Structure 1
Amino acid sequence: MVESTYIQGYGIHYVGALSKIPKSNEKLQPLYEALTNSLEAIRLLSTKSEQGVIKIKLHYTKGLFDTYEFYSISIEDSGIGFNNDEYERLINLNDTRKGFNNKGSGRVQFLHFFDKTEYTSIFEDKSSSTGFRQRKFTLSKSPAFLRYNAIIRHDSLIETNAKSPTTTIVLSSILNDKDRKFYNELSISELKDNIINRYLPFFCENRDALPRIIIEKLSQLETLESREILPSDIPTIDKQDDIIVHYCKSSNDGKSIERIQKSEKLNIKGFKIDKSRLQKNSLKLTSKGEIAKEIKLDSMLVDDEIDGNRYLFLISGSYIDERDSDNRGALKIPTIEEFRSKSSEVSWLFGEEEIVLDDIREKANEKVLAMYEEIAKRSTQKLEEVEKLQKMFLLDPNSIKEVKIKLTDTDEDILEKVYRADAKLIARRDAEIKKRVDLLDNLDPNSPNFRDRFLEEVNELTRAIPQQNRTQLTHYVARRKLVLDLFGKILDRKLLIQNSDGRNLDEALIHNVLFQKGSDKPESSDLWIINEDFIYFSGSSERQLSKLKVNGKPVFKSEFTIEEDKYLLSLGENRKIKRPDVLLFPEEGKCIILEFKSPEVNVSDHLTQIDLYANLIRNYTQEYFQIMTFYGYLIGESIEPRDVLGRVSSYEHSYHFDYLFRPAEKVNGFDGRPNGSIYTEVIKYSTLLKRAKRRNSIFIDKL
């Protein structure tokens, strides 16, 4: 063969062909391609007197200030070498004759990353007088090569006195600055870990028969770092089993996807690895001994551990190998959505069959639970969590059955799935209701069976509407249930903030749950706990009397007589800035006053507070706000009936409903204003909670 000959491509235009094989996003891809070739070359040896050796060397030049600049990578192996058959396969871009399910395009990654890839390969050749020959050739996509429509240049072929085959590949002159920076910062320990993770399937299956893999970092002839991948670095397979996955095809009408009898058998291997060695639990597809794609492990969170271990699952099979692409590791296995999209194309309506990624994931996750009892127990715990959510949010059991809940699903994931199922049910019910209404419109009154048909459709309609209303009512009632649960926790002092702070926040917490301080939107409050009607009135929470407005109009007077001002500011007080906890105005001339007391405060010490607020509102409001009738509610938890009756004798005890009330009393009018009246109750938070729960439970029971 003529020396230094460019191997011109025929039937292929390399400039165009190379662009169709994209550069990998994995910056170690060219090294992986070379290492894969070395592993395969060692496996091709007809006799294996030794385990084989692969040496990976990263070469650096030493710069100023003891810095090192990446120069090249060399990978040396004791494999079969580039004999005539192997070399012939190399020079054909898509030749797959080597076996191992190769696509023959991995070498293109050398061209994308490095300007020059040089091979020196010694191989056994019986026609040689020494028994061995040495072949040198170079790969590049530089203009010097492409002008000959070539990416390979054969440099030499000579006889050699070598005693065994060996191949050295040198990747030099890196093309991209970002890639150069990556290799500059790459440590040998990091590279060792990356290689183990990448080839874990192959290493695990061949743990006791691995070639020696030595990794070195050098500057000139000085070794800066050295590591070796040892059998002790490779975890052992803990358990393995097979899974059967069926093919999918489009239905005859092209509207749905069907699983068919045809199937493939895949193997799943489980590894139980100490958490210090495995950073996350994972489930991965492997192709040709390498990690190809990670899919979601449904039965565990990524950082979960059981008895100090994490779990790795590897799925392999000839089907996956055959679906590998030109860009190694990019599997051509569609998701169900991708398959559904393709099945709508005309070419797919005639029997195209595929296995979808979703089915592999589902079958693999089922097998994980069957293989490991300790992981399966997590499934039971998840069911308990779902049951808690069901009770808390009154989730429809039918919707829960409709969705697939995974062990890794968060509460938000579960609720989102259930509510999505609810939405589908609502849509179906809406469509059914519309259908029934349309049928009513189209009935013929002159038809002999009109009356029977009419009654039938009305009955169907009356069945559909309550089902539709149920879903919306459920969310409404469930929210109220949560508020009541929170209110109960505050009264029982079970919130973390109530026990982690020296301040007593009970009253503020209660106030904000019932009606957010500073708010003027009762309709957004939870005052229904006290009385259902309260959320429909206008009003405000914790607002100064002097700044109080109703329907945009100021309630308090802006100017006062000398006598009024004297009183309002007497005894060192400013009565204008008093802040009733809640004021509500149900209609013209009426006002509801709510006062909340901390649960440990003796409520009887504050019996006259509401009377004062009523008097100020009666006498110092604008003329157009003539409030004559007041309703006061003094609410706390520490209520001793005899204290209340002993201090204000006009109160009476309502034994049946567990509260004290005072019938209408006079609210004195001053300066010519007529008297008003006030009705007052003194009641416990726990009594209000009990009443509200009883009201809400009526809805819950019906739901």
Structure 2
Amino acid sequence: MTLDIRGSLKNTKISSDGYVVLEELISNSIDAFLIRQHADPGARSLVVSIEAEISSSGLLGDGTDISITCTDNGCGFGDDQADAFVTKDTSYKDDLAIAGIGKCKGSGRIQYFHHFERVGVRSTFRNEAGVATRTLLPDAARKKIDVADFIITGGDERQIGTAIRLEGLRDATRAKLFKTEALADVFSAANMRRNMLIAFLQRLVSLKSQLGEFVISFETRHSNGGVERSSLSAADLPEVTVVRSTEVAERDPQSGDPLGSTQTFTLSHYRLDAQTYDLPRNAISFCARSSPVLDITRRYLKTVAEQNRPVEGFHHIVLIEADLLDRRVNEQRDGFHEIPDEMPVYDLFTDATVAFADIFEQIDPIIAEMVTPSGWSKDEVIRDVADKFGVIQAMLTDTDTRVIYGDTAKSVAERVLKKYQERIVADTAEIFDLRAEIETAEPHTADFRHKINELSWKYTSYLKTFDMANLSQLVVRRAAIVEVLKLACGRALAVQAVEDGQRRKDEQIIHSIFFPMRKDSRETTDHDIWLLSEEYQYYDYIASDKPLSQIEWDDGGKLFDPTIDAELAETLRRRTKDHSAKRPDIAIFGEEGSAIIIEFKAPGVPLDEHIGDLSRYAHLLAAKSNGRLKKFYGYLVGDTLDPLGMIGWKKFASGRSFFHTSALEDPDTGRMLGELYAETLLYEDIVDRASKRIGVYREKLQIDFSKK
């Protein structure tokens, strides 16, 4: 059997974990101890020694290098162990019926060669002939390792165990993993101890009774002669704070449909007093074989400060384990293969039945209960989601969307709307499938009515999903428009901040909020005339500051005589030169012969001085429509009104606005042309009416865009 070093380096990626070599060394030492105890039970405890030697390197001695030696009192390199060492894809440990031993593919030692130029072994073991020592000298030129490369000599029973020495850190590894940190700091005794406590906490706790009063010692020797020492022992292990389990449903990878089975995930939470446990960071990780593999701390603790500092005086370690993770861990032990981010997976050859999205959906609320910094409010995020995106609590419940620490209003809204989108797509697809089946059904059979009933329920479900998503958007949009109108009426929009001497455009701005200027309803359907009245947006034709002679009826004929614009201009010219080219700001027409006239006045312009405008407009529109228009509703809108100028008008019971009803007669013949109902409206009343109109929905959505 031969281990092809260069071939193994090509086929096994380097791990992204800077401490992977230490983890592999200690993990193998634990396995070796368990094997020894199984074969030769005795009152012994695990002893592992890690020695890191920092030395000077480079022509000028201004660089640093490191050598690491791991010594243990395990079973040593017997024949079986030596064969496994030189076999990359080995099943040696898989066949050992020993509780607590780590399963492996034999690829862990490839990380030794990824990190270091030279690997040496000295191991003493017991065999049928007695005790022997097997030695492999470090050699940078070695391309392959064969069992025959080991030198076998006599051994001392007191030395049973293994020492693995790694020398000469590779430049590529230094650049990839240790570019910004000094090796002396990374591999200080204290740092090695702190990080190995996190890495092996779960495994050491579960094996505490089998490992005895174990000691894992760490020693760092510096080139200046300094020595640091630290250790991790059985007495240092904390008790697990809480253990929780959750079931993750398995799904078909192509369709995403439930398979009716689940995978169990177990979460172990260690809440460690920072005064007692000097740890470098908090750690939340997916594990394989009781060891952390994929760190997901930043998903729950968003800032570097939260990740590295105690949370309310405690370090938190949360370890997530599952048989699925044990099976799917990759060779370099820094991730998992064939666990997709989401389902369904568009890969015909995948056998994945669980996605990370499904896992997170189950574990997120559990971890949120375990680790949540103070100062964060779930209710505040939910309010923000409703205010900014119209996603109400009912929608969160309907889509089973949980809000956890670190969520923003945007991220929550995206999750909710994505779920609705997926549901709508799925429902639509099912509806089309059912419709296709209905076409082939026979009406006189029971199956036909069954399909009809099923289709109706599908439609109902679809509409509920679709309407909930769209209603929230509609109400939030309207709430925003009301707030913009309120600001515009108070000249509080940024665009209304003009310098002295510049012409103000307040009336144009307010006009455009209701309906874009110089457009009609055939050019745009995006307007907010509902601010005045909900029913007006459904009228047949709306014109905003456009020549009335251009308006066509549905039959293609002109609504007004061609002379209407000239006569309108002449009518207004009698009043003032400033209005000689004006026409109604907004005119709305209905097939049944009604017209709505809206005239805006800029803030500060008295409405009582313009009450005759509505009557003049209505007279002219009635006379020039050839009898098509008979009912007129006029609105004079502004913010300034002198009640003394409103003789003959009646005041509304609430507010400061007035209304007036009058007949429209031809001034020359006395012929009845129609009737005008007119109102003076203050902008504040329109804002109030619009707010009340959407008030019920707005209250349910908890929307408020105004400044507090």
Common topology (TM > 0.5): yes
String of CA shifts for 1:73-116, please: whole Å, max 9, x gaps: 311233138544544442333445464323322122233444x3
Residue aligned with 1:312, SS:
strand
Q: CA deviation at 1:527?
A: 1.5
* Aligned counterparts, 1:124-523, within 5 A: 135-138=135-138, 145=143, 150=145, 154=149, 167-172=163-168, 174=170, 176=172, 179-180=174-175, 182-187=177-182, 188-190=184-186, 196-197=194-195, 200-203=198-201, 206=204, 209-215=214-220, 218=222, 221-222=223-224, 236-237=238-239, 239-241=241-243, 243=245, 257-259=259-261, 266=266, 268-271=268-271, 283-294=284-295, 302=302, 307=312, 311-316=316-321, 320-321=325-326, 324-331=329-336, 334=339, 364=363, 368=367, 381=379, 392=390, 400-401=397-398, 403=400, 405=402, 407=404, 410-428=412-430, 443=443, 477-486=471-480, 514-515=514-515, 523=525
* Match in the other structure for 2:651: 653
TM-score using structure 1 length: 0.62
User: Which segments of 5 or more consecutive residues in structure 2 lack a partner in the other structure?
Assistant: 94-100, 206-212, 499-504, 553-565, 668-672, 700-708
**Corresponding letter in the other structure for 1:410:** V
CA distance in 2, matches of 1:225, 1:636: 84
5+ residue gaps, structure 1, are: 1-7, 445-449, 552-560, 670-674
Q: Tell which deviates more after alignment, 649-658 or 486-495.
A: 486-495
Q: Which residue of 1 aligns with 2:531?
A: 529
Change (3 A) 1:578 1:338: closer
Question: In the alignment, is the contact (CA less than 8 A) between 1:324 and 1:330 conserved in 2?
Answer: yes
Residues 244/415 of structure 1: CA separation in 2 closer, same or farther (3 Å cut): closer
SS in structure 2 opposite 1:121?
strand
2:628 is the alignment partner of 1:633: no
CA deviation vs aligned residue, 1:574-622 (integer Å, no higher than 9, x gap): 7799999767788999884442656xx6x6x244468789999999xxx
AA partner of residue 315 (structure 1) = I
CA change 1:290–1:633 in 2 (3 A) is same
Question: Displacement, 1:373?
Answer: 11
Q: CA deviation at 1:122?
A: 6.0
Say if 1:334 and 1:486 are closer, same or farther in 2 by CA, change over 3 A: closer
Structure 1 residue 647: Cα displacement:
2.1
8 Å CA contact 2:651–2:658 kept in 1: the answer is yes
- In the other structure, the counterpart of 2:12 is 21
1:93 matches 2:84: no
Once residues 120 and 656 of structure 1 are traced to their aligned partners in structure 2, the CA distance between those partners, rounded to angstroms, is 95
Paired residues, what number?
629
| Distance in structure 2 (CA, Å) of the matches to 1:420 and 1:103 | 40
Change (3 A) 1:432 1:119: closer
User: Is the aligned partner of 1:682 residue 2:680?
Assistant: yes
Mapped to 1, the partners of 2:455 and 2:123 lie a distance apart of 85
Counterparts of 1:665 and 1:58, CA distance in 2: 103
Aligned CA distance change for structure 1 residues 615 and 189 (closer, same or farther; 3 Å): farther
Residue type matched to 1:24 in 2?
S
Pairwise CA RMSD: 6.9
**In structure 2, what is the Cα distance between the partners aligned to 1:457 and 1:248?**
29
Partners of 1:654 and 1:634 in 2: CA distance: 15
Distance 2:374 2:33 in 1: 41
Q: Deviations over 1:138-179 (max 9, x none)?
A: 466x6x635xxx478837566799986773513326263x74
Residue-by-residue CA offset, 1:476-515 (whole Å, 9 max, x unaligned): 65444324434565688899x9699996999999666544
Q: Relative to structure 2, which stretch is displaced further, 302-311 or 610-619?
A: 610-619
What is the aligned-residue identity percentage?
A: 15
Note the alpha carbon deviations across 1:237-271, whole angstroms, 9 max, x for none.
551325375896989x99862317xx868462343
| Counterpart amino acid of residue 288 in structure 2 | S
Amino acid at match of 1:92: T
Distance 1:414 1:453, change over 3 A: closer
Alpha-carbon separation, structure 1, partners of 2:551 and 2:421: 38
SS in 2 for 1:77: strand
Structure 2 match to 1:74: 67
Q: Shift of the alpha carbon at 1:24?
A: 3.3
Q: Which amino acid aligns with 2:420?
A: V
Matched-pair contact (CA < 8 Å) for 1:390–1:396: no
Shift in alpha-carbon separation, 1:234–1:482, aligned structure 2, 3 A: farther
Q: In the TM superposition, what is the alpha-carbon distance from 1:405 to its structure 2 partner? A: 4.0
Aligned to 1:119: 120
Partner of 2:109: 107
Is the Cα contact below 8 Å between 2:50 and 2:70 reproduced in 1? yes
- 1:314 positional shift: 0.6
Q: 1:421 to 1:443 in 2, by over 3 A?
A: closer
**1:33 is aligned to 2:34:** no
**Residues 94 and 515 of structure 1: CA distance in aligned 2, closer, same or farther (over 3 Å):** same
Q: Deviations over 1:13-46 (max 9, x none)?
A: 7766654433434465445434544565677697
Between the aligned partners of 2:587 and 2:676, the Cα distance in structure 1 is 14
Secondary structure, aligned partner of 1:268: strand
Q: Secondary structure at the match of 1:211?
A: strand
d(CA) in 2 for partners of 1:125, 1:271: 42
Amino acid aligned to 1:211: I
Distance 2:235 2:45 in 1: 24
Equivalent AA in structure 2 for residue 79 of structure 1: D
- Cα distance change on mapping 1:685 and 1:203 into 2, 3 Å: same
Structure 2 distance, partners of 1:466, 1:361, is 31
Provide the C-alpha distance between the structure 2 equivalents of 1:246 and 1:491, rounded to a whole number of angstroms.
49
Amino acid at match of 2:645: R
Aligned to 2:702: none
